[in-house]
Amino acid sequence: MLRFPAWKITSILLMTAFALLLIVPSLLSPAHRDALISHVPKWLPIRTLVLGLDLQGGSHVLLEVDSNSVVKTLVDNLRDSVRRTLREEKVSITGGIGVVPRGVQLRIPDPAERARAMPKLRQLAATFGSGITDSARAPAFDVTENDNGLIQFTVTDAGVDSKVRRAVEQSIEVLRRRVDALGTTEPNIQRQGADRILVEVPGLQDTSKLKEILGTTAKLEFRLVAEPGADPADVEPLDQVDNPGKLPVEKRVMVQGEDLTDAQPGFDSRTQEPVVNFRFNIRGGQRFGEVTSENVGKLFAIILDGKVISAPRILGPITGGSGQISGHFTVESANNLSILLRAGALPAKLTIVEERTVGPGLGQDSIDAGKRAAYVGAALVAFYMLITYGIFGIFANIALAVHVSFIFAGLVLLGATLTLPGIAGIVLTIGMAVDANVLIYERIREEAHLGRSIISALDAGFKRAFATIVDSNVTMFVAAAILYFLGSGPVRGFAVSMALGILTSIVTAVTMTRMMIALWYRYKRPVKLPI
Amino acid sequence: MKLLRLAPENTKFPFMRFRRVSYPFSALLSIISVVLFLNVGMNFGIDFSGGTLIELRAKTGEADTAKLRSIAEHLKIGDVEVQGFGGVTDVTMRFGLQTGGDAAQQAAVNRVKDAIGGDYEVRRTEVVGPRVSGELVQSGTLGVVISIIAVLCYLWFRFEWQFAVGAIIATMHDLLLTVGFFSLTRLEFNTTSIAAILTIVGYSLNETVVVLDRIREMMRKFRKMPTDQLIDVSVNAVIPRTIMTATTVFLALLALVVFGGQVIRSFSLAMIWGIFVATYSSIFICSPMLIYLGLRGDTVGSAPAPVTKPARKPV
């Protein structure tokens, strides 16, 4: 008990000093923190505690890729490819290419033509939709053929999975570009589960703008407005943004938003209305030039997410590779549209399945409440320990203070996020760390009552209590670990604080207290135990 | 300095005699909990039921719940629950899932915000869709079940099987009574409450392990003592520690209830109930279970051994 080697004392003191250094930047005000960062060498990692959105305010939005729309796009693209293949092979079909819920079907009545087309169609199905990045390379479609000449393409589950996965990846890229353009600090965008994307934007006040920017697909298309007498099969009526009623528009897409290289808000030189100026890449510029020169005098519809924004008349060929979208924008909506166009279109529709927004006022209130509770709780516990155990209580309280700084240092080191339940977890481990000391002290008292000498009572107290402390802490730790792996968000934050608290309490409540008592004993040589 | 002692020294309280009272008592409370849960149910927060919660603070003066209620009725978004939240200026509005999927949820939120935006600051908005809430229920339940199983395995490994069974029965008891507590008090049950429940499980196990640890130690020390006496001695030995720890945790939680803010109040209240129940069950439910499970089965069997071994007696 008395022998407490110098290296142990030194390492405990070093650990404590290290922990305190780690949490200093978090305690400073932002201005002082910047001053500190500019005055210390660059290689020193200065990190601050990450506060959860519930504490600092901000938005948490969970989006889900609509797998139905992914499948629909896939099937639509397949239908176009099938049609092209049949046209190339000059195969005639009866009844057109029908879209069924999970695929397409067609009928080739002539067996000879069918025999000629099938290898091509099978090859198409085998390679369709699987890019070079797909590791599984599972075919996206199954093909069946019956004697009546009915051929069916059905989407496979693997095909849907890989499409959804790719859609999620692409969406994350697009969303990142969009959110970055909002100019907020450190947004967090990550995949969650198979088909979800979590977007966390700290400190954002206007969430409706965020949601609008996240939820918009931003698929831009240029199509010709259908002339009277056009084949109804090639025409679809679309809603208009400005006018009531639908506008008949050709199904064929002339130029796509994918070919845009830039989009900027601006003002129309004549009307002074806000507009969006855009620029195409070479392919898009050429195509745009061809279409406008071949269709002078016709109406050209600019379509965003299936709605006609405007349909200006083509006055002459536009060959410069740039153009303008006008459509009764406000400055803000022109700005939003240009952000969306610059960032590109989402590959699939995203729906908001969960949203949590904490205003900055509430966040600050929560921090204040949490701090107040932590101070009061710590003061109550410390006072209670002092009046119960006297000098040993002081040792326990010092260990407790170090314990709390270890938890915060651990959070800083791990880069973990402190949430409101996390603060609750810390307050709780303050109580639990005390339990370790209580177990030890009560045991010491018991052993002293049994008539042992002071030194052997101290020794036995620590030794016997230790087994119990390990058992109970491991049990708690198991619960915390499972909480971490199965929980999400705030529950996770709680588990991290709790697990850290349990781990550090073994060092502080057992080893550190023991050290202090050993040093005290060596110095004081008491004849009677003070507890 | 005279030090404070909450527990008298050297108690000889016959805890095990109370098992004839504590078992029927706990059985009754458990049945009430189940009945409450089945008939009254929990006050599920939107994390589990799905729906929308909007927290508002009046920009000037007090929040007018009656007026908010009437505004909400005109919006045709189903039943809207308007409640005071903490102080007089704060109020929460809660309404259920809208028909028409996730987009309809968002639309309803916007309509509410538009209708009341001028006079109130929107402090918090939470919208949870039907599928997400279902998954939260699943993962929450799974968390509780798996952590209990994991802990059971650990205890089985470290102690005799009777200890593990006793600990699990005590933990289930605490869990059941906590569910009953949520049902009775109408405290909101959300993901943070799951954290509370799991912490109660942890605390309950901690209490149980401390008592069991001492029982095991006493078993080695007093090899021939009858089980009920043995447990009494053990519980009396740890009772000062139990009271001390329960009091410190209670003090910490009290600070959370009073100063921690409205958001975690249900968590803190549930935890206070939890430490109370956990302390009770570790003494009055888990420990007597060892008697019924025949902890000393092997020792009792060998107790009369000297009588049956006349050969060793010196003739």
Q: Do B123 and A358 touch (CB under 8 A)?
A: yes
For the segment A218-244, the average pLDDT, to the nearest whole number, is 84
For the segment B298-305, the average pLDDT, to the nearest whole number, is 42
Query: So what's the pLDDT on residue B233?
Result: 92
Query: So what's the pLDDT on residue B176?
Result: 93
Q: Do A476 and B110 touch (CB under 8 A)?
A: no
* B91 touches A: beta carbon within 8 Å: no
pTM beyond 0.90: the answer is: no
Query: So what's the pLDDT on residue A132?
Result: 47
* A366 touches B: beta carbon within 8 Å: yes
For the segment A261-278, the average pLDDT, to the nearest whole number, is 86
Query: So what's the pLDDT on residue A375?
Result: 87
Cβ contacts of B128 on chain A, cutoff 8 Å: 353-354
Q: How confident is the model at residue A515 (pLDDT cuts 50, 70, 90)?
A: very high
> What ipTM, to 2 d.p.?
0.83
Distance in angstroms between the alpha carbons of the first and the last residue of chain A: 17
For the segment B158-165, the average pLDDT, to the nearest whole number, is 87
> What phi and psi values does residue A306 have, to the nearest 5 degrees?
80, 10
| Beta carbons of A322 and A277 less than 8 angstroms apart | yes
Tell me how far apart the alpha carbons of residues A506 and A403 are, in angstroms, rounded to a whole number.
9
- Could you read off the pLDDT of A138-183 as tens digits, one per residue? 677 888 888 788 888 888 888 888 888 888 988 898 888 888 877 7
Query: What are the DSSP calls for A178-215, one per residue?
Result: HHHHHT-S--EEEEETTTEEEEEEET---HHHHHHHHH
* A387 touches B: beta carbon within 8 Å: yes
The dihedral region occupied by B109, where left means phi > 0, alpha psi between -120 and 50, and beta the remainder, is: alpha
Q: How many CB atoms lie within 10 A of CB A220?
A: 25
Residue A26 has pLDDT above 90, yes or no: no
Tell me how far apart the alpha carbons of residues A416 and A486 are, in angstroms, rounded to a whole number.
17
The percentage of residues in chain A with a pLDDT greater than 90, rounded to a whole number, is 13
Query: So what's the pLDDT on residue B306?
Result: 42
For residue B23, the distance in angstroms to the closest alpha carbon of chain A comes to 25
Report the sign of the C-alpha dihedral through residues A312, A315, A317, A318, in that order: negative
Residue A110 has pLDDT above 80, yes or no: yes
- When scoring A54, A204, A442 by the number of chain B Cβ atoms within 10 A, the one with the most, hence best to mutate, is A442
Maximal C-alpha separation, chain B: 103
Q: Do A479 and B252 touch (CB under 8 A)?
A: no
DSSP symbol at A299:
B
- Could you read off the pLDDT of A349-374 as tens digits, one per residue? 888 888 888 887 888 888 888 888 88
Q: What's the whole-number average pLDDT of chain A?
A: 84
For the segment B198-203, the average pLDDT, to the nearest whole number, is 80
Residue A135 has pLDDT above 70, yes or no: no
Q: How confident is the model at residue A68 (pLDDT cuts 50, 70, 90)?
A: confident
- The type of residue at A95 is G
Query: So what's the pLDDT on residue B307?
Result: 40
Q: Which chain B residue has its CA at the smallest distance from A475's CA? A: B151
Q: How confident is the model at residue B188 (pLDDT cuts 50, 70, 90)?
A: confident
Q: Do B248 and A489 touch (CB under 8 A)?
A: no
Cβ contacts of B198 on chain A, cutoff 8 Å: 479, 482-483
Residue in B148, B140, B82 with CA at minimum distance from that of residue B115: B82
User: Who among B151, B191, B252 is closest to A431 (CB)?
Assistant: B252
Query: So what's the pLDDT on residue A437?
Result: 93
Among the residue ranges A249-263, A461-475, A489-503, the one predicted with the least confidence is A489-503
> What phi and psi values does residue A41 have, to the nearest 5 degrees?
-60, 150
Q: How confident is the model at residue B315 (pLDDT cuts 50, 70, 90)?
A: very low
- Could you read off the pLDDT of A271-322 as tens digits, one per residue? 888 888 888 888 888 888 888 898 888 888 988 888 888 888 888 888 888 8
36-55 in chain A: CB under 8 A from chain B: 54
Q: How confident is the model at residue A228 (pLDDT cuts 50, 70, 90)?
A: confident
Q: Do A357 and B147 touch (CB under 8 A)?
A: no
User: Who among B5, B199, B251 is closest to A381 (CB)?
Assistant: B251
Query: So what's the pLDDT on residue A341?
Result: 84
Query: So what's the pLDDT on residue B297?
Result: 54
- Inter-CA distances, B262 with A202, B68, B187, B190, Å: 22, 21, 12, 14
* A496 touches B: beta carbon within 8 Å: no
Query: So what's the pLDDT on residue B183?
Result: 94
For the segment A431-456, the average pLDDT, to the nearest whole number, is 89
Among the residue ranges A48-52, A184-188, B209-213, the one predicted with the least confidence is A184-188
Q: Do B106 and A474 touch (CB under 8 A)?
A: no
Task: Give the helix/strand (H/E) hosting B279.
Answer: helix B265-281
- The type of residue at A241 is V
Name the H helices within A415-453. Answer: 420-449
Q: How confident is the model at residue B310 (pLDDT cuts 50, 70, 90)?
A: very low
* A208 touches B: beta carbon within 8 Å: yes
- Inter-CA distances, A150 with A83, A105, A145, B59, B146, Å: 15, 7, 6, 68, 51
Q: Which chain B residue has its CA at the smallest distance from A359's CA? A: B123
Residue in A93, A153, A113, A101 with CA at minimum distance from that of residue A129: A153
Query: So what's the pLDDT on residue A205?
Result: 66
For residue B67, the distance in angstroms to the closest alpha carbon of chain A comes to 23
Query: So what's the pLDDT on residue A130?
Result: 56
Q: Which chain A residue has its CA at the smallest distance from B5's CA? A: A388
Residue A16 has pLDDT above 90, yes or no: yes
Tell me how far apart the alpha carbons of residues A96 and B225 are, in angstroms, rounded to a whole number.
91
Q: How confident is the model at residue B37 (pLDDT cuts 50, 70, 90)?
A: very high
For residue B97, the distance in angstroms to the closest alpha carbon of chain A comes to 11
Output A454 or A243, whichever has higher pLDDT.
A454
Structure-block tokens of residue A104: 């397409």
Tell me how far apart the alpha carbons of residues A16 and A311 are, in angstroms, rounded to a whole number.
70
